[in-house]
Amino acid sequence: MSTTTPSAISVQTIIGLEIHVQLATCSKLFCGCSTRYGQPPNTQTCPICQGLPGTLPVINSQAIDLAMDVGLALEMELVSGCRWDRKHYFYPDLPKGYQTSQFDLPITRKGRLEFRDPTNAETICSVRINRAHLEEDAGKSLHGEGVDGGTWIDLNRTGTPLLEIVTEPDLRSAQQAKAFLQQLRTILLYIGVSDCNMQEGSMRVDANVNLRIDNSNETVATPIVEIKNLNSFRNVERAIEFERDRQLQHWRATGERMGQRPKQTRGWDADREITTVQREKEEAADYRYFPCPDLPPVVLSVEQIAERRGKLPRLPQQWKSDLIRVWKLSDYDASVIVEQGRDMAEYFEIVARISQDGKRSANWITQEIMRLLNEQQRAITQFPISAQQMGELVAAVANNELDHARAREIFALWLEQPLSLGEAKQRLGIASISSDEVEQLVADIVAQHAAAIDDYRQGKKQALGPLIAQAKKLNPNVSPAKFREALLRVVEG
Amino acid sequence: MKTCTPIFLLASQASFWFRFSICSLIVTLGGRKIVRCGNPSGREENSKTMDAKPQDVTGEVTMDVVRHLERLAYLQLSEVDRASLVGDLSKVLGYARSLTRLDLTEFEPQTHAMDQANVMRADDVQASSTLEQALANAPQAASPYLQVPRVLE
Amino acid sequence: MTQQENLPALELSRRIRSGDLSVVESTRRSLAEVAQRNPTLNAFVEVWSDAALTRAAELDHKRVSGESTGPLFGVPIGLKSNLCVTGQLCTCASKMLSNYRPTYSATVCQRLLDADAILLGRTNMDEYAMGSGTEYSIYGPTRNPHFASGPNAVLEGYSPGGSSGGSAAAVASGMVPLALGSDTGGSIRQPAAFCGVYGLKPTYGRVSRFGLVAYASSLDQIGPIATTPEDLELLFQVIQGSDRLDATSLSREKVQQVEATLGHKSLKQLRVGIIREHAEQDLAPTVRRALEETKEYLKSVGATLVEVSLPKQAQAIATYYLIASCEAASNLSRYDGMHFGHRAQVPEKNATLEQVIAASRGEGFGAEVKRRIMLGTYALSHGYAEQYYQQATRMRQAIRQDFAAAFAEVDVLLGPTTPAPAFPIGAHRQDPIAMYLTDQFTVSANLAGLPAISVPIELTNFQPDESRLPVAVQFHAPPCGESRLFAVANALHERNQSAKLGAEA
C247 CB neighbours in chain A (<8 A) are: 56-59, 294-296
Per-residue model confidence (pLDDT) at position A482: 80
Is any Cβ of chain A less than 8 angstroms from the Cβ of C268? Answer: no
pLDDT tens digit sequence for C400-410? 999 999 999 99
Scan residues 30-49 of C and list those with Cβ closer than 8 Å to B.
none
Based on the residue annotation, tell me whether C163 is a catalytic residue of this protein. Answer: yes
- Average of pLDDT values for C473-484? 98
Residue B28: pLDDT band (50, 70, 90) is very low
Q: Which residues lie closer than 8 Å to C56 by C-beta, 6 or more apart?
A: C22, C23, C24, C26, C27, C74, C118
CATH 3.90.1150.150 for domain C256-313+410-504, yes or no, is: no
Query: pLDDT tens across C384-423, in order?
Result: 999 999 999 999 999 999 999 999 999 999 999 999 999 9
Chain C residues 361-390 with CB within 8 Å of chain A: 377, 380-382, 385, 389
pLDDT of residue C154: 61
What per-residue confidence (pLDDT) applies to B38?
43
Q: Do A144 and B150 touch (CB under 8 A)?
A: yes
DSSP secondary structure code for residue A247 in this structure: H
Q: How many domains are contained in chain B? A: 1
pLDDT at A391: 96
Kindly calculate the radius of gyration of chain A based on its CA atoms and give it in whole angstroms.
Answer: 30
pLDDT of residue A130: 97
Interface test with C, best of B19, B21, B50, B114 (most C CBs within 10 A): B114
C475 pLDDT tier (thresholds 50, 70, 90) = very high
Please give the single-letter amino acid code of residue A108: T
List the single residue in A with minimal CA-CA distance to B149: A150
d(CA A266, CA A227): 5
Average pLDDT value for residue range C272-293: 91
- Say yes or no for a CB contact (<8 Å) between B37 and A195: no
Same domain, A332 and A381: yes
The residue out of A374, A396, A427 marking a domain boundary is A427
Q: Can you give the pLDDT at residue A430?
A: 80
Percent of chain C surpassing pLDDT 90:
87
Instruction: Let me know if residue A353 belongs to a domain.
Output: yes
- Is C187 an annotated catalytic residue? yes
Is the CB of B128 less than 8 angstroms away from the CB of A44?
yes
Measure CB to CB from residue C217 to each of A97, A288, A294 and give the nearest one: A294
pLDDT band at B19 (very low <50, low <70, confident <90, very high): very low
Q: Report the residue from B10, B84, B149 with minimal CB separation from C353.
A: B149
Distance from C-alpha of A490 to C-alpha of A475, rounded to nearest angstrom: 19
Mean per-residue pLDDT for C62-76? Answer: 95
The confidence score (pLDDT) of residue B109 equals 95
Radius of gyration, alpha carbons of chain B: 25
Taking CA atoms, B135 is separated from B131, C86, C418, in Å, by: 6, 15, 44
- In this structure, the number of other CB atoms found within 10 A of the CB of residue A400 comes to 10
Please, which pLDDT band fits residue B50 given cuts at 50, 70 and 90?
Answer: very low
pLDDT per 10-residue tile (average), chain A, 493 residues: 61 97 98 96 98 98 97 94 95 97 95 90 92 97 84 97 98 96 95 93 96 89 92 95 96 90 89 87 80 96 94 94 96 92 95 96 95 93 95 92 88 92 86 79 86 86 84 81 84 77
- Domain coordinates in residue numbering, chain C: 3-249, 256-313+410-504
**Beta strand ranges found along C381-427 (DSSP E):** 412-416
Which segment of A284-288, C121-125, C228-232, C361-365 scores lowest on mean pLDDT?
Answer: A284-288
Q: Which of A41, A43, A141 sits opposite B151 (nearest CB)?
A: A141
3-state class (DSSP) for residue C448: helix
The answer, yes or no, to whether residue B11 has pLDDT greater than 50, is no
* pLDDT higher than threshold 80 for residue B10: no
| Contact predicate A475/A442, CB 8 Å | no
A131 and A279 together in one domain: yes
pLDDT value of position A229 = 83
Instruction: Look at residue B34 in the predicted model and tell me its pLDDT.
Output: 34
Task: Output phi, psi for A344, to 5 deg.
Answer: -70, -45
Q: Write the ipTM.
A: 0.96
Residue B49 pLDDT: 36
How big is chain A, counted in residues?
493
Q: Are residues A17 and A110 in the same domain?
A: yes
Distance between CA atoms of residues C78 and C486, nearest Å: 22
CB C359 within 8 A of CB A76: no
| SS3 category, C22 | coil
CA dihedral B56, B59, B65, B68 (to 10 degrees): 60
A356 within domain boundaries: yes
**A283 in the same domain as A225:** yes
Indicate yes or no: CB of A288 within 8 angstroms of CB of C97.
no
Is A300 part of a structural domain of the chain? no
Cβ separation A53–C339 shorter than 8 A: no
In a domain, B113, yes or no: no
Residue B97 domain boundaries: 77-103
Chain B touched by C415 (CB under 8 Å)? no
CA torsion C11→C16→C118→C37, rounded to 10°? -60
Pick the catalytic residue: C81, C94, C163, C182?
C163
pLDDT for residue B6 is more than 50: no
Q: Chain C closest CA to B39's CA: distance in Å?
A: 33
Q: Which residues from C are below 8 Å from A86, CB to CB? A: 330
Residues 113-132 in A contacting B (C-alpha not used; CB under 8 Å)? 114, 117, 123-128
Residues of chain A found within 8 Å of residue C354, distances taken between Cβ atoms: 90
Same structural domain, A178 and A323? no
Within 10 Å of residue A435's Cβ, how many Cβ atoms? 9
**Mean residue pLDDT across chain C:** 94
| Residue contact A53–C92, C-beta within 8 A | yes
Residue A303 lies in a domain: no
User: What are the residues whose beta carbons fall under 8 Å from the beta carbon of C134, sequence distance 6 or more?
Assistant: C124, C125, C126, C141, C142, C159, C160, C161, C162, C163, C164, C165, C166, C169, C191
Rounded distance between C-alpha atoms, residue A200 and residue A192, angstroms: 17
Smallest CA–CA distance, residue A130 to chain B, in Å, is 12
**Which pLDDT score is estimated for A6?**
54
Tell me the C-alpha to C-alpha distance, in Å, between residue A10 and each of A155, A171, A221, A248, C93: 48, 16, 12, 11, 65
Instruction: Check whether residue A152 and residue A170 sit in a common domain.
Output: yes
The total number of structural domains that make up chain A: 3
Alpha-carbon separation of residue B33 from A195, A272, C294 (angstroms): 30, 42, 73
Instruction: Specify the DSSP element, H or E, that contains C194.
Output: helix C189-195
Residue type, B153: E
pLDDT classification of B39: cutoffs 50, 70, 90: very low
End-to-end CA distance of chain C: 24
Residue A386 sits in which domain range? Answer: 314-427
Residue C247 CA to residue A298 CA, distance in Å, equals: 12
Subunit contact C334:A51, Cβ cutoff 8 A: yes
Q: Is A288–C106 a contact, with Cβ atoms under 8 angstroms apart?
A: no
The domain boundary residue, chosen from A427, A444, A461: A427
Task: For residue B104, list chain C residues with Cβ-Cβ distance below 8 A.
Answer: 391, 394-395, 398
Is A298 inside a domain boundary?
no
Mean residue pLDDT across chain B: 72
Are B3 and A27 contacting, i.e. CB atoms less than 8 angstroms apart? no
Is-same-fold flag (C3-249; C256-313+410-504)? yes
Contact state of C378 with B69 under an 8 Å Cβ cutoff: yes
Q: Calculate how close chain C gets to A281, using CA atoms only, in Å.
A: 14
The active-site residue, picked from C13, C26, C30, C80, is C80
Q: How many residues does chain C have?
A: 505
Of B114, B137, B151, the CB nearest to C353: B151
Q: How would you label B11-32 residue by residue, b for 16+ Cβ within 10 Å and e otherwise?
A: bebebebeebeeebeebebeee
C3-249 classified as CATH 3.40.50.300: no
CA distance C179 to C77: 5
A58/C106 CB distance under 8 A: no
Q: For chain A, list the contacting chains (3+ Cβ pairs, <8 Å).
A: B, C
The CA distance from A454 to A476, in Å, is 25
Is B92 within a domain?
A: yes
* Neighboring chains of C (3 or more beta-carbon pairs < 8 A): A, B
Q: Which residues contact C371 (CB under 8 A, 6 or more apart)?
A: B85, B88, B89, C432
Q: How far apart are CA B143 and CA B141, in angstroms?
A: 6
Which residues in C lie closer than 8 A to residue A47 (C-beta atoms)? 102-104
Q: List phi, psi (to 5°) of A329.
A: -80, 160
* Beta-sheet strands, E only, within C259-330: 271-275, 304-308
Which residues are C221's β-sheet partners? C183
Q: Which of C137, C187, C208, C360 is catalytic?
A: C187
Distance CA B143, CA B134 (A): 10
Mind telling me how many Å the CA of C458 is from chain B's nearest CA? 34
Cβ of A98 and C333 within 8 Å?
yes
Which residue of C218, C354, C369, C391 to mutate against B (max B Cβ within 10 Å)? C391
**A212·B118 Cβ contact <8 A:** no
Helix H segments across A174-287? 174-191, 233-254
The verdict on residue B98 lying in a domain is yes
**Strands A151-154 and A203-214, sheet pairing:** unpaired
Chain A residues contacting C, CB < 8 Å?
Answer: 47, 50-59, 86, 88, 90, 92, 95-98, 153, 155, 284, 286, 288-290, 293-296
pLDDT of C70 strictly over 60: yes
Task: State yes or no: pLDDT of B21 exceeds 80.
Answer: no
B93 contacts in C (CB within 8 Å)? 375, 378, 388
Contact map slice: C 328-367 vs B, CB within 8 A: 329, 336-343, 346, 350-359, 361-363, 365, 367
Residue B81: its pLDDT value, please?
92
Tell me the backbone φ, ψ of residue A127, rounded to 5 degrees.
Answer: -105, 130
| Omega of the bond leading into B144 within 30 degrees of 0 (cis) | yes
Partner residue facing B72 (CB), from C340, C371, C377: C377
Q: Count the alpha carbons within 13 Å of A97 in the hemisphere toward its beta carbon.
A: 25
Between CA A190 and CA A182 the distance in angstroms is 12
CA–CA dist C403, C411 (Å, integer): 11
Give me the residue from A25, A77, A279 closest to B123, CB to CB. A25
Among A397, A427, A457, where does a domain finish?
A427
How confident is the model over C168-190, as a mean pLDDT?
Answer: 98
Q: Is C349 on the interface with A (CB under 8 A)?
A: no
